[in-house]
A and B are shown apart, each in its own frame.
Chain A
Amino acid sequence: MNPSTPHTPQTPAPPREALDLADLLISRVVDGQASPRDWSALDALAGQHPLLWKELAMAQAQDRQLRAELAPVAHAAESIALPTLDHHDPHQPFTTETGSDAVVGRVGPGLGGEPGAGRGVGQFEEPSRRLGAWGGWAAAAVLALAFIAVRPEPMPRGADQSASLSGSIQSAADAFNLYLEKGKRDGTVLEELPQRYLLRTEPAPDGNGYDVVYLRQIVERTRVQGLYREAIDERGQPAPAPVIIPAPAARPL
């Protein structure tokens, strides 16, 4: 060792695990997620390594600065509106909720979007197309809202209003099955889609298995007097435009 070089005592570095824990605790404090236990743990670590308080102050200052720098970006994002597609685009989605002439769906190739397509809204080819076109009960819920002023008419074909209801209702499942049965008879219910979406799972409170929340999808049909899609009028304002769909050839559902 060179005698002219002063000897500097080395401060022992904190253990690596303590560093990782300190970083995690500092981050939780910055995010407002630190529990009282976290604060105690940070206080205990800082007792051995006081510079941790400076680290915390720096982390908080940087968080404020980063948010400030990103604020204009967030503001710019709020100003970006969703574009609307060209109304001549055969794949343009359309939704109208105008009185008794309301439907939610999409006119596209093979679904009555072109002359001579031979099909109309409400006629399906396969389960995947049905799902893509109607999206399950969520779309049905929107339909229900759209028809608030109109009582849906049961389909005249295949209706059997005199059919008696079978069984008695003991549970929600009974009522649901009865709804399916009755609906299929009068033509308002086509089917329940087999695919179900898992929304949430959690252990059962009594410890016996799991509570599962999932989405079921029912395909229904109703009759409307007219079909419309969103369009733009000569003033550039949104306006419904009638959709003409050729009468489909007779085909079983």
Chain B
Amino acid sequence: MDQTAPPTAVAPASDPPIVEAEAAVASERVLDPSEAALIASAMASNHAAVEELWRAHRRWIAGVLMAHKPAWADVEDLLQEVALSLVRKVHELRDPAAFRPWLRTVAINAAHAAGRSGARRRRALRPARGPDGMPVEDAPDRAPQHDDHAASNESGRSLLELARTLPEGYGEPLILKAVHNLSYREIGAIMGLPETTIETRIARGRKQLRALAASLATNQSRREHPATRQGPLP
């Protein structure tokens, strides 16, 4: 062993690409008979059934909205839009087993539409100007914003804000688990993915969240306590 060799940095392990090879399993949509009956009744325009479905599912819909909406969009406004779409379009469904994935798609579309309309609104407005007369850039759509209810870590960003920055496919199952304590199977039924895939994504999402929080804490610590320089100045 070479005693004079410098320490070798250990390259961080990168997550392997997610391979959803079990698409056939995802297509096997299994429904509880009572839920199937309720959805079928809602498809037949029974308003009481639609109401019961909304009460049973609105919480996880809020989780989907939180995972996909721009930071500035109001989740209650988006929930209202999703509820309206449910009332207007549930009768167009052809398969009760498609209800949860369909409702998730409605929520994601509402979140993305809010982002697009907000971006158009900002472009149409005259940009604000700073004290020096130069235009001030608007913050990007998904810029983290503080929430009165959110506990901030040392960097000032909430854990929810960090979870929303996770790569596509990791943040949403994590948020769904936390907002409604859904099982892996229920999350899989919503996202159209196998149970094992959901479990893996949640595990990796948590790992990335820990790494993010630790990295931010380290950066914050360095800013607050810069290392004392030793040796001659350059």
CB neighbours of A33 from chain B (8 A): 184
Cα-based distance from A91 to B89 in the complex (angstroms): 10
Which residue on chain B has the smallest CB distance to residue A107?
A: B45
Cα-based distance from A197 to B13 in the complex (angstroms): 45
B160 at the interface (CB under 8 A from A): yes
Cα-based distance from A240 to B104 in the complex (angstroms): 33
Q: Is the CB of A76 within 8 A of B76?
A: yes
CB neighbours of A65 from chain B (8 A): 151, 159
Q: Is the CB of B33 within 8 A of A76?
A: no
Q: Is the CB of B203 within 8 A of A70?
A: no
- In chain B between 79 and 107, which residues have their CB closer than 8 angstroms to a CB of chain A? 79-80, 83-84, 86-88, 91-92, 94-97
Residue in A23, A70, A142, A201 whose CB lies within 8 Å of B41: A142
For A59, A62, A133, which residue has the most chain B Cβ atoms within 10 angstroms?
A62
Q: Is the CB of B7 within 8 A of A7?
A: yes
CB neighbours of B213 from chain A (8 A): 58, 62
Which residue on chain B has the smallest CB distance to residue A79?
A: B76
Q: How far is the CB of B189 from chain A (nearest CB, A)?
A: 13
The count of chain B contact residues (Cβ–Cβ below 8 Å) is: 77
Which residue on chain B has the smallest CB distance to residue A135?
A: B44
B8 at the interface (CB under 8 A from A): yes
Q: Is the CB of B47 within 8 A of A93?
A: yes
Known A-B contacts A70-B179, A78-B58; A93 and B46 likewise in contact (beta carbons under 8 Å): yes
Which residue on chain B has the smallest CB distance to residue A80?
A: B79
A250 at the interface (CB under 8 A from B): no
Which residue on chain A has the smallest CB distance to residue B41?
A: A138
Interface digits, A45-66 against B, CB 8 Å rule (1 contact, 0 not)? 0000000000100110011011
The count of chain A contact residues (Cβ–Cβ below 8 Å) is: 67
Which of A82-90, A149-157, A158-166, A171-179 touches B? Answer: A82-90
Cα-based distance from A41 to B45 in the complex (angstroms): 51
B174 at the interface (CB under 8 A from A): yes
Q: Is the CB of A62 within 8 A of B46?
A: no
Q: Is the CB of B58 within 8 A of A27?
A: no
B22 at the interface (CB under 8 A from A): no
Which of B59-67, B117-125, B132-140 touches A? Answer: B59-67
Which of A8-16, A184-192, A220-228, A241-249 touches B? Answer: A8-16
A30 at the interface (CB under 8 A from B): yes
Which residue on chain B has the smallest CB distance to residue A141?
A: B37
B40 at the interface (CB under 8 A from A): yes
Q: Is the CB of B150 within 8 A of A139?
A: no
CB neighbours of B8 from chain A (8 A): 10
Q: Is the CB of A82 within 8 A of B59?
A: no
A67-B179, A83-B80, A200-B31 given; name 17 further pairs at CB < 8 Å: A27-B199, A55-B210, A59-B206, A73-B179, A77-B58, A80-B80, A82-B83, A85-B88, A93-B50, A106-B44, A132-B43, A133-B44, A136-B44, A142-B41, A142-B49, A197-B95, A200-B33
A-B CB proximity, top 7 nearest:
A135-B44, A93-B45, A27-B203, A138-B40, A77-B62, A106-B45, A139-B44
Interface residues of A (CB under 8 A from B): 1, 5, 7-8, 10, 13, 16, 19, 23-24, 26-28, 30-31, 33, 55, 58-59, 62-63, 65-74, 76-85, 91, 93-95, 104-106, 131-139, 141-142, 197-201, 213, 215, 230
Instruction: Give 10 pairs: A residue, B residue, CB < 8 Å, sorted on A.
Output: A1-B6, A28-B203, A59-B206, A70-B178, A70-B179, A73-B75, A93-B91, A95-B47, A135-B40, A199-B30
